[in-house]
């Protein structure tokens, strides 16, 4: 399984859980801010925070102005998580790439590492052995002996309830029980997430405005993925997975997609698709791996910005597809916010004219007016950040439980 055992919380434990979750999502807050945020009375907040402070789960710190004596009156303290409650490791598996991040219980980044490692052709057991060895070596190399959980982000269709990767374009095994396999090898709970959903969750954690209403985050890069959130929580399908929006077919008989189909949104927008078409235009060298690196993509973008007409047409066509894709989101989900994120936003200046024209021509104006579109420059560390936050929230559930005297 992917998470801790589901044992019902008592009313007091539920209140502790709400308070801890608010601090995890909003960051350090004063008691009065906690009360306003949760709708709790000052007496209830004081009682809850006193026990959490006594247990060493929270720590208190005066603000800088109060500590310096610039503000008179009763000191205002902010509460935040202690950093000594254990750590979590976030992992992202890409095409022959692994990203790792170590974060303490206060949410502070302690170490990170990028590893190039062949993964695509590994069998199930060998893949899980490699990942377990990599995670163990990373933890030992950072001196982390208090790791409590692993958060794992994967490309493809991920069943988050049962911890199964049903299908991934970067792994060679279907219906892979990755959470249980890694959990057995590491002796730790493993929580899994689709990587687009992980990035969407991290982005909304950084921007409180995006945690209101419905937010659709369209991630463009190695592939095209969608994370959809309602009031800041990820939407789950029937198998507790996310959306495979990148594999919605736009045009029958279109270009080849990694999923085996043709004409998918991803087959027009993903880095591998743009690089493939650029090769046909100017016979540039093929990437050494199936997926082009950032340097290869930047080269195409800069050449287009310099005025190469064929490459400009390539990005114009991609912008039209992006506009069609966002139009589908608007007219099927009616989101309050649409976030365009991922490495593919590096070329947004080239995509924007045709993107906006396609969106305007293909979308019902009244619906288009309801959705605010944001472009968020985003790095791959958001993938591990998203699963780290989720893993910490799972650990907070255990912290919320009252310990027997």
User: 39 lies in a domain?
Assistant: yes
Whether residue 231 sits in one domain with residue 134: no
Domain identity same for 222 and 368:
yes
368 and 253 within one domain: yes
For residue 286, the enclosing domain spans 208-378
Residues 225, 140: one domain? no
- In this structure, is residue 78 part of a structural domain? yes
Domain count, the chain: 3
For residues 173 and 123, is the Cβ–Cβ distance under 8 A? yes
Is pTM beyond 0.75? Reply is yes
Q: Is residue 192 part of a domain?
A: yes
Q: Residue 287 corresponds to which tokens in the numbers above? A: 């990437």
Summarize pLDDT for 131-172 with one digit per residue, the tens: 999 999 999 999 998 999 999 999 999 999 999 999 998 888
What whole-number percentage of the chain has pLDDT above 70? 94
Same domain as 332, residue 240: yes
pLDDT at res. 283: 75
Same domain, 343 and 223: yes
Q: What is the pLDDT of residues 336-347, one digit of tens each?
A: 999 999 999 999
Residue 195 lies in a domain: yes
What pLDDT is attached to residue 64? 55
| 80-115: pLDDT as tens digits | 999 999 999 999 998 889 999 999 999 999 999 999
The verdict on 257 and 124 lying in the same domain is no
> What is the C-alpha to C-alpha distance for residues 250 and 42, in angstroms, rounded to an integer?
55
Environment class of 159 (CB within 10 Å of its CB; exposed 0-12, middle 13-18, buried 19+): buried
Check whether residue 243 and residue 330 sit in a common domain.
yes
Domain-embedded: residue 171: yes
What's the pLDDT score for residue 75?
63
Q: What CATH number does the domain containing 113 carry?
A: 3.30.420.40
Residue 404 maps to a domain: no
What residues in the chain have per-residue pLDDT under 50? 1-3, 67-68
Same domain for 277 and 363? yes
Q: What pLDDT score does 1 carry? A: 36
Which of these, 27, 144, 12, lies nearest to 81 by C-alpha position? 27
Tell me which of 53, 82, 111 is where a domain ends: 82
State the first-to-last Cα distance of the chain, in angstroms, to the nearest integer: 30
403 within domain boundaries:
no
Percent of the chain past pLDDT 90, that is, above it, reads 78
Phi, psi of 121 (to 5 degrees): -100, 10
- Residue 2 counted as domain residue: no
Kindly report the CATH number assigned to the domain that includes residue 66. Answer: 1.10.10.10
């Amino acid at each position: 399984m992917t998470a801790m055992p589901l044992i019902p919380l008592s009313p007091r434990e539920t209140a502790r859980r709400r308070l801890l979750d608010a601090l995890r999502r909003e960051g350090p807050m004063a008691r009065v801010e906690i009360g306003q945020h949760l709708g709790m009375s000052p007496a209830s907040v004081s009682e809850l925070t006193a026990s959490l402070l006594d247990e060493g789960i929270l720590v208190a710190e005066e603000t800088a102005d109060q500590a310096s004596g610039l503000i008179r009156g009763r000191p205002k303290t902010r509460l935040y998580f202690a950093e000594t409650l254990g750590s979590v490791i976030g992992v992202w598996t890409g095409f022959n790439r692994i990203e790792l991040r170590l974060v303490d219980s206060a949410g502070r980044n302690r170490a990170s590492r990028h590893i190039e490692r062949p993964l695509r052709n590994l069998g199930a057991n060998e893949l899980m052995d490699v990942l377990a060895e990599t995670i163990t070596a990373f933890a030992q190399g950072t001196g982390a002996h208090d790791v409590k959980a692993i958060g794992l982000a994967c490309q493809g269709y991920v069943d988050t309830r049962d911890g199964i990767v049903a299908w991934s374009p970067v792994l060679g095994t279907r219906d892979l029980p990755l959470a249980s396999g890694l959990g057995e090898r590491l002796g730790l709970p493993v929580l899994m997430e689709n990587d687009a959903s992980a990035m969407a969750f991290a982005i909304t954690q950084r921007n409180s405005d995006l945690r209101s209403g419905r937010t659709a985050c369209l991630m463009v890069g190695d592939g095209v993925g969608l994370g959809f959130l309602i009031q800041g929580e990820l939407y789950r399908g029937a198998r507790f997975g996310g959306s495979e929006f990148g594999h919605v077919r736009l045009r029958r008989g279109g270009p080849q997609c990694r999923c085996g189909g043709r004409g998918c949104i991803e087959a027009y927008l993903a880095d591998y698709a743009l690089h493939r078409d650029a090769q046909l235009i100017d016979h540039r060298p093929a990437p050494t791996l199936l997926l082009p690196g950032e340097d290869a993509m930047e080269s195409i973008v800069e050449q287009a910005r310099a005025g190469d007409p064929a490459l400009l047409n390539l990005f114009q066509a991609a912008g039209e597809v992006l506009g069609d894709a966002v139009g589908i989101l608007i007219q099927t989900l009616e989101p309050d916010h649409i976030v365009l994120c991922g490495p593919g936003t590096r070329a947004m200046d080239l995509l924007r004219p045709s993107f906006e024209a396609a969106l305007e021509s293909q979308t019902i104006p009244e619906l288009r007016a309801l959705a605010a579109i944001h472009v968020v420059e985003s790095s791959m560390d958001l993938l591990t950040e998203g699963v780290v936050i989720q893993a910490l929230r799972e650990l907070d559930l255990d912290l919320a439980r009252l310990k027997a005297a």
